[in-house]
Structures are given as structure tokens and as C-alpha cells.
């Protein structure tokens, strides 16, 4: 998927990674529709990168269902969907409130799934497209205080794996991005929970993880889309551990070699 000239729909655009993604995508020649909850910073970012601002609360079910149609009405068919929006609730599960837990699941898992559902029919009909889901290594192995967050990210990674199976043999690609801790406002909030802070400090001191630069992540994501990689893991040193977690998915994919669900579905829906 060439980014130059493509219409990219990016959620979570005003976050630390999102801002760099918006800039990198625009620099690569993409037309970008930027989605975030707060209008003022979103408008400022859109003006900065020459993108289209689409203020939306992705936890609002009615608003969520109109995102792809609104983006396509403004800039034409969506070629690349980047589900970057996400949040965390650092703390013991029993200490979380019900509304916060529901919002976490809605933003981190339900919204990406719904946006993929909206974008897929058009991508398939046009014979091109790419679905990018920004997940986390917390979905591979989580730390104290991130049980709910890790569960949503594990679900997002598994969703992407399932989409890859569904789309095998077709024109739409997928990219699962699994990243470790990023220098960000979110990481600062996670660090306010002492058990989570202690866990990350130990992992960083042991060099099992490194603190990632959000611009490095953005640059790597754009490169992965253009190269057609199905998975991007950062930092690289975590790839072996993540591969162990993904082994069952890889074995199933190997066992199903030659089965192309997307082609069969296209044939079923042919006039």
C-alpha cells in the first residue's frame, strides 16, 4: 500500500503517537482525516499537517457509526484505516468504576472493530486497502495495574489476526502494531500507579524493554504499511517473546494454507 496519495483515516490523532503519525503520513503524501475527541487541538493539528479534522467521541455509539461515511464524504474513499485511539485505567480491577471499565473496552476494542467493519466493504469493492491496529505488548504479557488494559489490547491483536485470516487471498492488508512503553502522557498516568511503575522500572533496568520515542513508532508504522508487513513489534528485543504468544495463531494460519475466505466471499456476493 503506497501512502502517497492515499486517504488515511487516523484515530487518536492528538495523542503523543497520533500527532507524529499525522505528521509522518502527511509528509509521505497522504491525505489525512484526523479523529479525536477535543476540537481545538484537533483543528490545530489539522491546520499544521493540511488534514481534515473530524472531532468524534468514539465511545459514543451513534457518533462512531458515522465516522467512515463522514471521512469519505470529505476526502473520498478511505484507503488506510489507522486505529490508534486508546486509553488506560491503571489500577487494581476492583478499584475501577463500572463506567470507566466500559469506556476502556469501548475505545480500545469495540471502536477499532466497528471502524474496520465500516471500512472493509468499500476497500474490498475497490480492490485495495489497509487496516492498521495499534496494540500493545501489554496484550502479550501485562503488569500489575493493567489487567483491563492488557485484556483490551490482547483482544485487538487477536481481532487483527482474525481479520488477516478472513482477508487472506484478497486485496486488503492488515497490520498489527505491538509496542512497549512510549514516552507519553499515557505512560505518565500509568506511572502514577506504584505497582505498575515498579514493574516497568524493573523491566527497563533489566533492558527487557526500552522507552520508545513516539516519532520512531510513527515512522516505523508508515514504513510497515508501505512494505506490507503484517506485524510490527517494538522494541525489537521483545519479538521472540511475542512470537511465543503468537505461535498458536501462526500454526493455525499454516494449517489453513490454500484456504482463501476473501475470494470465496467475493464469489458468494457476485451478481
**Which residues are catalytically annotated?**
149
3-state secondary structure the chain: CCCCCCEEEEECCCCHHHHHHHHHHHHCCCEEEEEECCHHHHHHHHHHHCCEEEECCCCCHHHHCCHHHHHHHHHCCCCEEEECCCCCCCCCHHHCCHHHHHHHHHHHHHHHHHHHHHHHHHHHHHCCEEEEEEEEHHHCCCCCCCHHHHHHHHHHHHHHHHHHHHCCCCCEEEEEEEECCECCHHHHHHCCCHHHHHHHHHHHHCCCCCCECHHHHHHHHHHHHHHCCCEEEECHHHHHHHHHHHHHHHHHHHHCCCCCHHHHHHHHCCC
35 bridge partner residues: 11, 54
First-residue to last-residue Cα distance in the chain: 28
CB 137 within 8 A of CB 149: no
Are 76 and 126 a contacting pair, CB within 8 Å?
no
Amino acid at each position: 500500500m503506497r501512502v502517497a496519495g492515499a486517504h488515511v483515516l487516523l484515530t487518536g490523532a492528538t495523542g503523543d503517537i497520533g500527532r507524529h503519525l499525522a505528521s509522518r503520513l502527511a509528509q509521505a503524501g497522504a491525505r489525512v482525516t484526523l479523529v479525536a475527541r477535543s476540537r481545538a487541538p484537533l483543528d490545530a493539528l489539522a491546520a499544521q499537517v493540511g488534514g481534515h479534522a473530524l472531532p468524534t467521541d468514539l465511545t459514543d455509539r451513534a457518533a462512531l457509526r458515522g465516522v467512515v461515511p463522514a471521512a469519505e464524504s470529505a476526502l473520498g474513499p478511505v484507503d488506510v484505516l489507522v486505529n490508534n485511539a486508546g486509553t488506560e485505567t491503571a489500577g487494581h480491577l476492583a478499584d475501577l468504576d463500572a463506567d470507566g471499565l466500559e469506556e476502556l473496552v469501548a475505545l480500545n476494542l469495540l471502536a477499532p472493530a466497528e471502524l474496520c467493519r465500516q471500512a472493509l466493504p468499500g476497500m474490498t469493492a475497490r480492490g485495495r486497502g489497509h487496516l492498521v491496529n495499534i496494540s500493545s505488548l501489554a496484550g502479550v504479557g501485562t503488569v500489575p495495574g493493567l489487567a483491563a488494559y492488557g485484556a483490551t489490547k490482547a483482544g485487538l491483536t487477536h481481532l487483527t489476526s482474525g481479520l488477516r485470516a478472513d482477508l487472506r487471498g484478497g486485496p486488503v492488508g492488515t497490520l498489527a502494531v505491538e509496542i512497549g512503553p512510549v514516552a507519553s502522557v499515557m505512560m505518565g498516568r500509568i506511572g502514577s500507579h506504584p505497582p505498575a511503575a515498579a514493574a516497568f522500572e524493573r523491566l527497563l533496568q533489566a533492558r527487557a524493554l526500552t522507552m520508545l520515542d513516539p516519532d520512531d513508532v510513527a515512522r516505523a508504522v508508515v514504513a510497515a504499511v508501505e512494505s506490507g508487513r503484517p506485524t510490527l513489534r517494538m522494541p525489537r528485543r521483545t519479538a521472540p517473546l511475542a512470537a511465543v504468544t503468537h505461535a498458536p495463531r501462526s500454526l493455525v494460519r499454516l494449517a489453513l494454507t490454500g484456504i482463501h475466505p476473501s475470494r470465496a466471499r467475493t464469489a458468494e456476493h457476485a451478481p
